[in-house]
Amino acid sequence: EAVVNKIAAGEVIQRPANALKELIENSLDAKSTNIQIVVKNGGLKLLQITDNGTGIRKEDFSIVCERFTTSKLREFEDLNTISTYGFRGEALASISHVAHLTIVSKTADEKCAFRAKYEDSKLIDTLKPTAGTQGTQITIEDLFYNMNIRKRALRSPAEEYQKITEVVEKYAIHNANVGFGLRKQGENNDVKTPCNSTKLDNIRLIYGHIIARELIEFSLENDPYKFKVQGYITNPNYSTKKFIFLLFINHRLVECQALKKCIDQVYTTYLPKNSHPFVYLSLELDPKNVDVNVHPTKHEVHFFNEEQIIELIMAAVETKLLGSNN
């Protein structure tokens, strides 16, 4: 049974950046306004996230790492209507099967924080009272220590750190009201955004003022298909070598190859060969229309009326580009 759990967990948590994404979403779910991340050896030695969110109640410590227990399901009757990031209670459980997991957390109601260690979904040892301010600190050490094959399949620590950086940067842009920090242990911050910033300011901070200067605001609302898009896209006079595409669907960072390709396609009419735009889109769909059969931690997402919705977004981008070109 232990082996089966480990394999299942390894499927949910594929690499450090993947684990971090889940942790960031948990911190956002907990209404944090400040999220600080410390990494050692590309996240394999250490991946630590500290937030100032609501915290974990003392009585919940024993269950947060049990599979399929989630504090977020209580509020919902139907899986289809769940709109928070987490909806399956699998992330912490999975992490506890493939790493050493420590949680320190304090709610507003408790006088002190509590510290707990987990292994294979279970709390090991008793809760330890400890000093701490409101919020949660999750520490993951020795990720994949018990999965040598997975560990060997990973890229270099530098590349894993790069993936981590991208995840943090993208969430920082999308959640400009939240301050984000990322650094290697013992070093200065590589990412640092203030809380109560704006998306545009964070784009400027992260991707540079040149890109920020070339951006046009994009928005689209569609009633028949019940969706809404907001974002920033570069004007047709600007291009980069690499296609920079940030896509959030219902506030989750996801991949949608079909949409990505189509957007790039629209720009080919305007841009020189082998050059691409910067595109950040936040797409909000009726949660009922996002395919819940796709595993929540799989980044590639599908949704109902995908083709029609992509067509509509493409047409709107095209119109926007035409309008800004004269």
Catalog residues that contact ligand ADP under the rule CB under 6 A. Answer: 22, 26-27, 30, 51, 53-56, 64, 70-72, 86-93, 136
Distance between terminal CA atoms of the chain? 65
Cα torsion 251, 254, 258, 263: sign: positive
C-beta closer to ligand ADP: residue 67 or 199: 67
Q: Give 71 or 165: the residue with its C-beta nearer to ligand ADP.
A: 71
List the helix and strand counts (H, then E) for the chain. Answer: 9, 13
Nearer to ligand ADP, 72 or 226 (CB): 72
Q: Least separation, in Å, of the C-beta of 235 and Mg ion?
A: 37
* 88 contact choice in ligand ADP, Mg ion, none (CB below 5 to 8 Å, kind-dependent): ligand ADP
Nearest distance in Å: CB 23, ligand ADP: 7
Interface segment toward Mg ion; rule CB under 5 A; list 46-54, 87-95, 181-189, 238-246? 87-95
- Which residue number, 93 or 233, has a Cβ lying nearer to ligand ADP? 93
Q: Which is nearer to ligand ADP, 136 or 202 (CB)?
A: 136
- The residue at minimum Cβ distance from ligand ADP is 86
Q: Which residue, 86 or 277, is less far from ligand ADP as judged by CB?
A: 86
DSSP for 71-110, please give it.
Answer: TTTTT-S-GGG--SS--SS-HHHHHHHHSEEEEEEE-SS-
Return all residues near 74 (Cβ < 8 A) that are at least 6 apart.
none
CB of 152 to ligand ADP, least distance (A): 26
Closest CA to 305 of 289, 284, 281, 320: 289
Strand order from edge to edge, sheet including 252-253: 215-222, 227-234, 278-285, 244-249, 252-253
Decide: is 93 part of the binding site for Mg ion (CB under 5 A).
no
Least Å distance between CB 319 and Mg ion? 38
**Residue 57 Cβ vs ligand ADP, minimum distance, rounded to whole Å:** 8
Among 24, 91, 95, 279, binds Mg ion (CB under 5 A): 91
How far from the centroid of its chain's Cα atoms is residue 192's Cα? Answer: 16
Q: Does 53 sit near Mg ion (CB under 5 A)?
A: no
Residue 315 Cα to chain centre, angstroms:
28
Whether 37 contacts 181, CB under 8 Å: yes
Instruction: Pick what 30 binds: Mg ion, ligand ADP, none; C-beta below 5 to 8 Å, kind-dependent.
Output: ligand ADP
| Nearest distance in Å: CB 25, Mg ion | 5
CA distance 326 to 322: 7
Q: How far is the CB of 257 from ligand ADP (least distance, A)?
A: 25
List of residues contacting Mg ion (CB under 5 A): 26, 86, 91
